Structure 1
Amino acid sequence: MSARNPRNPPGLVETPYDLGLGESAAPDAALVYNSSYVTTVEVVADLGRADVDRRKILSAAPFAAFAGVGPSRDWLVNTLDQEPTGPRVRLEDVSAVKNMFATFQRMDIFQGGGSGRLVLAEYMTQHVYPLLRRTHGAEVRRALCEAAAEQTYLLGWMAYDNGENGTAQRYLIQALRLAEESKDAALGAHVLAGMADQATLLGDPAEGRRLAQAGRQGLSRVDSPACLADLWCLEARALALLGEKSAAAHAVAQSEKAYERVRLDEEPAWAAFIDPAYLHGEHANTFRDLDDPSAAEEHARRSITHAKMQKRARRGAMSQAALAVSHLQRRDLDSAYAAGIRTLSLTKRVKSSRAVEAVQDLQRRMQPFGAHRLVADFNERARELATAA
């Protein structure tokens, strides 16, 4: 039985987490896509507080293979039937939450996921998740769940970019559940895109492909060209790693076709990053994995141009790394070294484990060149980056 704490605002219920109980179950509970809205609210609130408190058990929580199977299926078919209780939330409260989203998203895009993630976790825990427990009309409830889903997704994405994959996965699953509650199919598909990206890059491209396809199925009744372009893009990446060359090339073409219909002023705020810098950068990685250095170089250079104009260091670093690999695939070490140095320079400007991993990937790919002076110099500079990090 829950207890009320007189220090808490009216309508807030003290949970086992508040009492110091049930800590060991919190990480696993966040892997479950629960049909109960009330339970979902408690789980995501507990997850946020464990994150803010830097609980060891959360930081040690592993990425669970295949945990996305049930959530992606249930997102397509579930209906909800429970209501929270407490003081009524107004649309003005929701607007305040949505206005904060752009601020945190810009922090992620321009500074990397590790720079502002804990600030966002604190904001969500103190200001947003408590609102989910309160009373809302149907319109406000949908809007609030949409805003909470957007920012819970962003928390997951920032954790992913910072190398905290177990934490990221749990946030993404709960974001998907909140997106279903909001009845925004495009937002749910967007969350599945993030889950697909994570699964693919953690070594399970078959799961990544399946999640991307589930997202596309979810878009069957809504028009969201930016999200569709992203899902095709991520499916292409998975297909490339699966060795399905023609299917991957087709998926890239479908991604580009979908993006031709994008009108930026009609897209939701969460789609702001789905642009030429991002898409061409991911296409470069697809063709890199297909061992097609010419196509990889073309897309990498397009991405680099756009990222430079936008001053997006993380995207620039990752696309410079893709460009470097395209040179290595042609055995052009001099050009690869030059692109690698630019990768290092840009990586120093952001807090992103994905950018650091791109540098480490370059080191591995340079190993066949042995003790060449350029390889030795690049490795020394990379060690300096790792030490600084």
Structure 2
Amino acid sequence: MGVSVHPARTANEELAQLIEASGMSHHALARRVNVLAEQAGLVFSYTHTSVTNWTRRGMIPRSPVPAFIAQALAEGLGRPVDPAEIGMPEIRESPRQVGLDFPRDAHEAVRTATRFWSTMHRRTFLTAPFAVGAYSTPVTRWLAVPADPDAAHLGRYRVGRQDLDALWAAAAEAQRSDSKYGGGTGKASNVTTFLNERALPLLRGHYPDAVGKELYAGTAELARVAGWSALDMGHHSLAQRHFIQALRMARAGGSLSVGCHVLTNMALQSTLRGYPDEAVDMAQGAYDRARHQAAPRVLAFAKLIEARAHARLGDARSAAGALASSERLLERADSEPGDEPTWISYYTPARMAADAVEIHRDLGLPAAALRWNNRAEPMPASAFTRSVGLRMTVLATAHLQHRDLDQALAHGQRAVTILSQVRSTRATDYLAGVVRDMAPWHRDPRVAHLSHLARKAIAFSRTGAVA
């Protein structure tokens, strides 16, 4: 008998509904699947209990059994049935392509997300390369049509306020954990399990348009947090897939604010991966498409990331213009709070100033970078451990540009101390950058000592073990 690929631990409502519509009993369906398998030269002995496992426990038998189930139901319904329609999508495309699609149809988008979120444990996603070109179609389609016309869906389980609140709460908690401890922590990484086991079943439920729009938007934010956590751990191909699915869910929910935020995250990832030119286009597109509907703070963050991309290109004038726009929008957000989403509350004037330090460091303007640092308010390491550690690494390199080794060592030492508590490949990459930039002073014993401590912190962050 075929062994299930994984226990989803959630009921397969689609399959249950189609079995009921076909008029087949569980006994009859199991017998027909066995017959179809025998005709294909395979021997199975499925029973009514097997069908119950498929419907109530969400177990998925190995290929080609989902195709046999779909065929049996098609005979009863008198129409074609695809395995994806019964909640058992067959992965026909290469594993490296899973999660990169951006379907025009919302229902197909849910099936695409199901294929990805139910197979994202594959090591293929962790080892596949980041491809900025994979963002081309998703970005184009979202910019052209950022909202689907109707988010209503018919299903057995009625989605309510409690379900929606649980989605937003899970995303907020994962974001807090990620900010404090890095993307490698349990709460941050387990959001992917929540997506698969809680969000997807809700998307198959029963809800009117208004509820559906918020459900899709909440799912998009969950996927964005999952993507950011993967990015933070250096799993850029996995992050890219989460971001694409998040953008598609935002479109299904008609949420320009969420979509703008997701696209801005995609722009930042592209900048970090060495594609600042493409990142400028993404950040500008995110801002322009949402400028008349998104909250000022959301738009301000898009302008900040545009400034960071310009800085990586060495375009000081454009970076200054985007940063000034971000500052004006933040001032507007603080003076006219309005209806602002809670998930963007992290972007404050202090955060902007901290990023401005990095922008001017990247532009090779250390004096300006240090002036911006004086404007940045102290952030408690207890609440923003990774963010404070990253800021210390940027300050260290800015001081090196200023030829001030003593200050660079002081900030580098603090960065090592703080980031030793974090599981974040991105943070350790920044720390490694400090060590590289100190190469001209390698004969100084203080530099050698800091390099040794940095290597230990990097080893711990990436493996959880002390070097």
TM-score normalized by the length of structure 1: 0.91
Contact 1:50 1:58 in 2 (8 A): no
SS of residue matched to 2:361? helix
From 338, 341, 350, the equivalent of 2:410 is: 338
**Alignment CA distance shift 1:19-1:32 (3 Å):** closer
The alignment status of 1:111 with 2:181, answered yes or no, reads yes
Deviation at 1:10? 6.8
- Which of 1 and 2 has higher RCO (CA within 8 Å, sep 6+)? 1
The letter of the residue matching 1:140 is: V
The alignment status of 1:356 with 2:428, answered yes or no, reads yes
- Structure (1 or 2) with the larger CA radius of gyration: 2
Contact 1:26 1:47 in 2 (8 A): no
From 275, 279, 285, the equivalent of 1:204 is: 275
From 418, 429, 451, the equivalent of 1:379 is: 451
Task: Select between 140-149 and 36-45 the one with higher mean Cα deviation.
Answer: 36-45
Which segments of 5 or more consecutive residues in structure 2 lack a partner in the other structure? 1-13, 17-50, 61-65, 67-82, 462-467
The letter of the residue matching 1:169 is: Q
Contact 2:283 2:303 in 1 (8 A): yes
In the alignment, the residues of structure 1 paired with residue 249 and residue 383 of structure 2 have an alpha-carbon distance, to the nearest angstrom, of: 33
Q: Deviations over 1:185-244 (max 9, x none)?
A: 111000011000000010000011010001011123214111111111111111111121
Contact 1:66 1:207 in 2 (8 A): no
The letter of the residue matching 2:125 is: L
The letter of the residue matching 2:410 is: A
Partner in structure 2 of residue 31 of structure 1: 100
Partner in structure 2 of residue 50 of structure 1: 119
From 327, 345, 349, the equivalent of 1:256 is: 327
In the alignment, the residues of structure 2 paired with residue 88 and residue 19 of structure 1 have an alpha-carbon distance, to the nearest angstrom, of: 19
From 287, 299, 315, the equivalent of 2:360 is: 287
From 170, 194, 200, the equivalent of 1:100 is: 170
In the alignment, the residues of structure 2 paired with residue 159 and residue 97 of structure 1 have an alpha-carbon distance, to the nearest angstrom, of: 19
Task: Select between 102-111 and 153-162 the one with higher mean Cα deviation.
Answer: 102-111
Q: How does 1:146-225 map to 2 (within 5 A)?
A: 146-225=217-296
Task: Select between 318-327 and 275-284 the one with higher mean Cα deviation.
Answer: 275-284
The letter of the residue matching 1:6 is: T
In the alignment, the residues of structure 1 paired with residue 140 and residue 104 of structure 2 have an alpha-carbon distance, to the nearest angstrom, of: 12
The letter of the residue matching 1:315 is: S
In the alignment, the residues of structure 2 paired with residue 163 and residue 97 of structure 1 have an alpha-carbon distance, to the nearest angstrom, of: 25
**Alignment CA distance shift 1:176-1:290 (3 Å):** same
Task: Select between 165-174 and 263-272 the one with higher mean Cα deviation.
Answer: 263-272
**Alignment CA distance shift 1:128-1:35 (3 Å):** same
Partner in structure 2 of residue 276 of structure 1: 349
RMSD: 2.5
The alignment status of 1:296 with 2:369, answered yes or no, reads yes
In the alignment, the residues of structure 2 paired with residue 335 and residue 300 of structure 1 have an alpha-carbon distance, to the nearest angstrom, of: 13
In the alignment, the residues of structure 1 paired with residue 108 and residue 378 of structure 2 have an alpha-carbon distance, to the nearest angstrom, of: 43
Deviation at 1:383? 1.4
The letter of the residue matching 1:376 is: A
In the alignment, the residues of structure 2 paired with residue 169 and residue 100 of structure 1 have an alpha-carbon distance, to the nearest angstrom, of: 21
Contact 2:390 2:427 in 1 (8 A): yes
Q: Deviations over 1:352-377 (max 9, x none)?
A: 11111110111111112232212211
Task: Select between 258-267 and 211-220 the one with higher mean Cα deviation.
Answer: 258-267
Contact 1:281 1:318 in 2 (8 A): no
SS of residue matched to 1:68? helix
Counting aligned pairs with the same residue, the percent is 29
The alignment status of 1:7 with 2:53, answered yes or no, reads yes
Report the count of equivalent residues. 385
The letter of the residue matching 1:107 is: S
The alignment status of 1:63 with 2:135, answered yes or no, reads no
The letter of the residue matching 2:177 is: M
In the alignment, the residues of structure 2 paired with residue 220 and residue 283 of structure 1 have an alpha-carbon distance, to the nearest angstrom, of: 22
Task: Select between 78-87 and 67-76 the one with higher mean Cα deviation.
Answer: 78-87
**Alignment CA distance shift 1:314-1:302 (3 Å):** farther
Contact 2:159 2:202 in 1 (8 A): no
Partner in structure 1 of residue 26 of structure 2: none
Contact 1:208 1:235 in 2 (8 A): yes
Which segments of 5 or more consecutive residues in structure 1 lack a partner in the other structure? none
Contact 2:181 2:423 in 1 (8 A): yes
**Alignment CA distance shift 1:174-1:338 (3 Å):** same
Deviation >3 Å, runs of 4+:
2-5, 8-21, 23-27, 79-85, 263-266, 300-303
Partner in structure 2 of residue 41 of structure 1: 110
Contact 1:38 1:84 in 2 (8 A): no
